């Protein structure tokens, strides 16, 4: 017997019962971004591997351990995108969207792929909604991005469920000086570091700061602090951002150990975290990456952005029971037909009604069936009215309209102006 086919571990089907929550989240976000003046960009899911290796950085977990990389038939190394920023920067550059200092405020959504160990809130195919802004270098745009996410939490009812963590990574020179000091400090204590941190000391020492290992964390208590190495401009930028968040009344915690797992960040980094989802509590994360465009060969172009994990937000909304009831999958009218001539007439009538009453959810019975079985389906559809067309009605040029939710008596509706009569009935509360 052949083995039952299954989806790949960590890659989930999003079933009809779950899609309304996704649509709710995506449409809330799209409307919000529209209001702030952001435009959608759609990007390929597969890119040349080099894009991510150069953009996200060798030595990061994402590039070293988590990418889905393969050779195509032309022996080119391609990778399923593990995130959206690198591809967005590539597209902006490729199409000259950042030319002449032009400001771009972009957003995207779609699947991302990382070979991580699957657990609640962490998957191998997951979905992000991301925002990237180009050619604005002041702290005002960092504040706008954070304000926009705060407004989303407000709209979703999540305001009290998430907190904002903030840090500044400074300029690359400042980070370089800090890296040296940190490596010196940790090198002298090498034997006491956990294995992962020992490896990172060479490849990505700043990531040691957010190690989960208790002994490593204890060692870090007296380690040099990034905040003490900040350059003047980055400090002023950070102060500017804080002043704006204060003015907006957006609370934050400064987390000096927040360094993020992707190499392109400098200056502002932030994460929105919740304690309601267990270990995978970061629902939205981002920061400034002023160096990435020039690293890809473009003109220096300041940039800042963030991405949020849709699965985690849906989980959070489910956990807190904040999903509004969704009308999707419910009918307004259910059309029952008896006998082939009536079925044909109802088929035509249904299309006429759909034309005349756009937005009305009209379900035509499929597969014939007895009176009882059709009415059972009509009831299950959630429709307010069943329309009935049989031989008798057809001969009289009428349709019977039976209320299914206890609103009044059955009525006989003449075929001429059926749409008008139904519209009136549907508009009655």
Query: Would you say how long the chain is, in residues?
Result: 429
Is there a binding annotation on residue 83? yes
Is there a binding annotation on residue 115? no
* Among the residue ranges 194-202, 282-290, 356-364, 419-427, the one whose residues contact ligand HAM (CB under 6 A): 282-290
Q: Which lies closer to ligand HAM via its Cβ, residue 172 or residue 198?
A: 172
- Exactly one of 107, 306, 334, 385 binds ligand HAM (CB under 6 A); that residue is 306
Site string for ligand HAM, 247-276 (x = CB under 6 A): ---------------x--------------
Q: Which lies closer to ligand HAM via its Cβ, residue 87 or residue 390?
A: 87
By CB under 6 A, residue 132 contacts ligand HAM: yes
How many residues touch ligand HAM under the rule CB under 6 A: the total is 26
Is there a binding annotation on residue 260? yes
By CB under 6 A, residue 60 contacts ligand HAM: no
Is there a binding annotation on residue 217? no
By CB under 6 A, residue 116 contacts ligand HAM: yes
Is there a binding annotation on residue 128? yes
By CB under 6 A, residue 174 contacts ligand HAM: no
Is there a binding annotation on residue 367? no
By CB under 6 A, residue 135 contacts ligand HAM: no
By CB under 6 A, residue 311 contacts ligand HAM: yes
Q: Which residues contact 190 (CB under 8 A, 6 or more apart)?
A: 198, 201
Is there a binding annotation on residue 207? no
Restricted to residues 75-104, the positions that interact with ligand HAM (CB under 6 A) are 83-85
Contact yes or no for 22/130 (Cβ under 8 A): no
By CB under 6 A, residue 114 contacts ligand HAM: yes
* Among the residue ranges 152-160, 184-192, 301-309, 394-402, the one whose residues contact ligand HAM (CB under 6 A): 301-309
- Exactly one of 63, 145, 308, 413 binds ligand HAM (CB under 6 A); that residue is 308
By CB under 6 A, residue 123 contacts ligand HAM: yes
Contacts with ligand HAM by CB under 6 A lie at 83-85, 114, 116, 121-123, 126, 128, 130, 132, 262, 282-287, 305-309, 311-312
* Residue ranges at the known binding site for L-histidine: 83-85, 114, 128, 132, 260, 264-265
């Amino acid at each position: 017997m052949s083995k039952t086919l299954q989806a790949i571990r960590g890659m989930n089907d999003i079933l009809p019962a779950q899609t309304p929550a996704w649509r709710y989240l995506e449409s809330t976000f799209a409307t919000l971004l529209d209001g702030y003046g952001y435009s959608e960009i759609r990007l390929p899911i597969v890119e040349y591997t080099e894009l991510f290796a150069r953009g996200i950085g060798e030595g990061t977990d994402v590039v070293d351990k988590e990418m889905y990389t393969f050779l195509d038939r032309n022996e080119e190394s391609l990778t399923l995108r593990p995130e959206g920023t690198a591809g967005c920067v590539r597209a902006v550059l490729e199409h000259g969207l950042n030319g002449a200092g032009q400001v771009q405020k972009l957003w995207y959504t779609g699947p991302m792929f990382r070979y991580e160990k699957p657990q609640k809130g962490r998957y191998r195919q997951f979905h992000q909604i991301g925002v990237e802004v180009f050619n604005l270098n002041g702290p005002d745009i960092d504040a706008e991005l954070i304000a926009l996410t705060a407004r989303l939490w407000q709209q979703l009812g999540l305001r009290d469920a998430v907190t904002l963590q903030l840090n500044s990574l400074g300029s690359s020179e400042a980070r370089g000086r800090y890296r040296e000091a940190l490596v010196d400090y940790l090198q002298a204590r090498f034997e006491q570091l956990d294995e992962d941190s020992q490896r990172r000391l060479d490849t990505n020492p700043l990531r040691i700061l957010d190690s989960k290992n208790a002994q490593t964390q204890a060692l870090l208590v007296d380690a040099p602090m990034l905040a003490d190495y900040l350059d003047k401009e980055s400090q002023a930028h950070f102060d500017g951002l804080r002043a704006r968040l204060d003015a907006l009344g957006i609370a934050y915690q400064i987390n000096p150990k927040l360094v993020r797992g992707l190499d392109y960040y400098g200056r502002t980094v932030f994460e929105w975290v919740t304690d309601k989802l267990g270990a995978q509590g970061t629902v939205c994360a981002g920061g400034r990456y002023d160096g990435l465009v020039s690293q890809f060969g473009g003109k220096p172009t300041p940039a800042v952005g963030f991405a949020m994990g849709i699965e985690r937000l849906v989980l959070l909304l489910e956990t807190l029971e904040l999903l509004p009831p969704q009308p999707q999958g419910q009918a307004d009218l259910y059309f029952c037909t008896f006998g082939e001539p009536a079925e044909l007439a109802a088929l035509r009538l249904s299309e006429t009604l759909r034309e005349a009453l756009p937005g009305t959810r009209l379900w035509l019975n499929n597969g014939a069936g007895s009176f009882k079985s059709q009415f059972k389906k009509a009831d299950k559809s959630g429709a307010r009215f069943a329309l009935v067309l049989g031989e008798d009605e057809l001969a009289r040029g009428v349709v019977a309209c039976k209320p299914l939710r206890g609103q009044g008596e059955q009525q006989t509706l003449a075929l001429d102006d059926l749409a008008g009569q139904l519209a009136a009935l549907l508009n009655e509360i």
